[in-house]
C-alpha cells in the first residue's frame, strides 16, 4: 500500500497562460493498494459525489499510464481518496488526481520511472504543464515544452510575506467550457501586453517588488473572455484592490479567483465577505499559503 498527499494548484496567475502555476496548501490524500482482482474506488470529502468510481476515474487512468509503460500488471487495485480540493473550480483537482495516480502507480511498480518521466506523462494527460508541474514538485513554476516528451521547468521561490486568498464560487466551471470562449487568435498588441506582464510577475516576486503585482496580474489573453462566465468577477477584482490586495487573478480556467495579500492584512477577508453578502453571492473564502512541496508520500 502507498499513500500520497498532493497540493491544489492555481494556473496562469493572470498573464502566464498555460505555463505559470503555483502549488497551494490545500490537499487531496490518496492511497492505493494491490488487491486480488477488480477495481475499487472510494472517495470522501469535498465534492466526493462528482468523482467517478470506475475506469474513467482520473487517478486510475493515470495509474494505467504508468502500468503500461512499466509493464506491470496488478491483479486488482483499491483506491481511497480524501479530498479537500474542490472540483471544477480552477484549483487543479484534475492535476492533483493525475499526479497522485502517476506517483502511486510508479511506487507499486517498484519506482521504475524517474520523476522527469512522471512529469512528461502528467503533461500528456493534462494537455499542458501549468498545473501538473507544481502539483508534482511544489512551489511556483514556469514550464515550457516542445512536445510532451520534452517538458522543462524552473521552480521559483515565493515571498514569505504574501499569502493567497481563495475566493471560491458555489458553481463549477469546466475547463472545456472555459476554453471554448477563447478566441482562435489574438491581436499582437494583446500578446505583447501579456509578455510584459508575465515578465513583470516573475521580476516582482523575485525581487520582492510587490507594488508591481497589481499590474503584473493583468491579462488580455483569457481573463476578459472568461469574465462573462463568472458573475461579479470584475467587481470582486475592484473590491479586492480596495481591500488591499497586491494582485488578483482568475485561477486557471476558473471559477475561483485568487488574491495575493500581505500576511498582516487581517481585515481583507471580512471586507470581501461583506461585499459578497451585499451582492447576494455565495462564495467561500479561505487564506492559504504556498506549498513549497509537491506530491509527497505520507505514512
| Tens digit of each residue's pLDDT (9 = 90 or more) over 93-127 | 999 999 999 999 999 999 889 999 999 999 999 99
Angle (CA) 252-217-261 rounded to 5° is 90
Cell (9 digits) for 6: 498532493
Gap between the Cα atoms of 280 and 229, Å rounded: 17
- Taking a C-beta distance cutoff of 8 angstroms, is the pair 164, 259 a contact? yes
User: What backbone phi and psi angles, to 5 degrees, belong to 216?
Assistant: -65, -20
The backbone torsions φ and ψ at residue 152, rounded to the nearest 5 degrees and listed phi first, read -120, 150
Q: What is the pTM of this model?
A: 0.95
pLDDT tens-digit series, residues 274-294: 999 999 999 999 999 999 999
| Residue 152 and residue 143 in contact, taking contact as beta carbons nearer than 8 Å | yes
- Gap between the Cα atoms of 48 and 82, Å rounded: 8
pLDDT, tens digit, 9 for 90 and up, residues 73-91: 999 999 999 999 999 999 9
What's the grid cell of residue 86?
Answer: 474542490
Separation between Cα atoms, residue 124 and residue 66, nearest integer Å: 12
Predicted confidence (pLDDT) at residue 299 exceeds the cutoff of 90: no
Residue 230, exposed/middle/buried by CB under 10 A (0-12, 13-18, 19+)? buried
Instruction: Give Cβ neighbours of residue 120 (< 8 Å, ≥ 6 apart).
Output: 148, 149, 150, 151
Alpha-carbon distance 101 to 6, whole Å?
Answer: 10
Q: Average pLDDT, stretch 187-213?
A: 97
Q: What is the DSSP string of 21-34?
A: EEEEEEEEEEEEEE
Q: How far apart are CA 58 and CA 104, in angstroms?
A: 13
| H-helix segments, 185-246 | 188-206, 213-216, 223-226, 233-242
Domains and CATH numbers, the chain: 2-157+291-297 (3.30.230.10), 162-288 (3.30.70.890)
Give 175's pLDDT tier (boundaries 50, 70, 90).
confident
3-state secondary structure (DSSP) of residue 155: strand
100: cell is 497522485
| Confidence class for position 248, pLDDT limits 50, 70, 90 | very high
User: Which DSSP category does 173 fall into?
Assistant: -
Angle CA 128–161–214, to nearest 5: 60
Is the pLDDT reported for residue 166 higher than 90?
Answer: yes
List beta partners, residue 166: 258, 286
Residue 229 DSSP label: G
Amino acid at each position: 500500500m502507498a499513500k500520497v498527499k498532493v497540493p491544489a494548484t492555481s494556473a496562469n496567475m493572470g498573464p502566464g497562460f498555460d505555463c505559470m502555476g503555483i502549488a497551494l496548501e490545500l490537499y487531496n490524500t490518496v492511497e492505493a493498494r494491490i488487491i486480488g482482482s477488480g477495481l475499487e474506488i472510494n472517495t470522501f470529502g469535498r465534492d466526493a459525489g462528482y468523482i467517478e468510481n470506475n475506469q474513467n476515474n482520473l487517478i486510475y487512468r493515470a495509474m494505467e499510464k504508468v502500468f503500461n509503460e512499466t509493464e506491470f500488471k496488478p491483479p486488482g487495485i483499491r483506491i481511497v481518496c480524501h479530498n479537500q480540493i474542490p472540483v471544477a473550480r480552477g484549483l487543479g483537482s484534475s492535476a492533483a488526481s493525475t499526479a497522485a495516480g502517476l506517483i502511486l502507480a510508479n511506487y507499486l511498480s517498484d519506482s521504475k520511472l524517474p520523476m522527469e518521466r512522471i512529469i512528461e506523462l502528467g503533461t500528456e494527460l493534462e494537455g499542458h504543464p501549468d498545473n501538473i508541474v507544481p502539483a508534482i514538485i511544489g512551489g511556483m513554476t514556469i514550464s515550457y515544452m516542445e512536445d510532451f516528451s520534452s517538458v522543462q521547468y524552473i521552480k521559483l521561490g515565493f515571498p514569505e510575506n504574501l499569502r493567497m486568498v481563495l475566493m471560491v464560487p458555489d458553481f463549477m466551471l469546466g475547463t472545456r467550457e472555459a476554453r471554448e470562449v477563447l478566441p482562435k487568435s489574438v491581436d499582437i498588441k494583446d500578446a505583447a501586453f501579456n509578455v510584459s506582464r508575465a515578465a513583470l510577475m516573475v521580476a516582482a516576486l523575485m525581487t520582492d517588488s510587490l507594488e508591481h503585482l497589481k499590474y503584473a496580474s493583468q491579462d488580455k489573453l483569457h481573463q476578459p473572455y472568461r469574465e462573462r462566465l463568472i458573475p461579479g468577477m470584475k467587481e470582486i477584482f475592484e473590491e479586492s484592490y480596495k481591500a488591499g490586495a497586491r494582485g488578483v487573478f482568475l485561477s486557471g480556467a476558473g471559477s475561483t479567483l485568487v488574491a495575493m495579500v500581505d500576511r498582516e492584512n487581517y481585515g481583507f477577508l471580512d471586507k470581501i465577505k461583506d461585499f459578497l453578502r451585499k451582492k447576494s453571492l455565495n462564495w467561500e473564502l479561505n487564506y492559504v499559503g504556498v506549498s513549497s512541496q509537491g506530491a509527497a508520500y505520507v505514512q
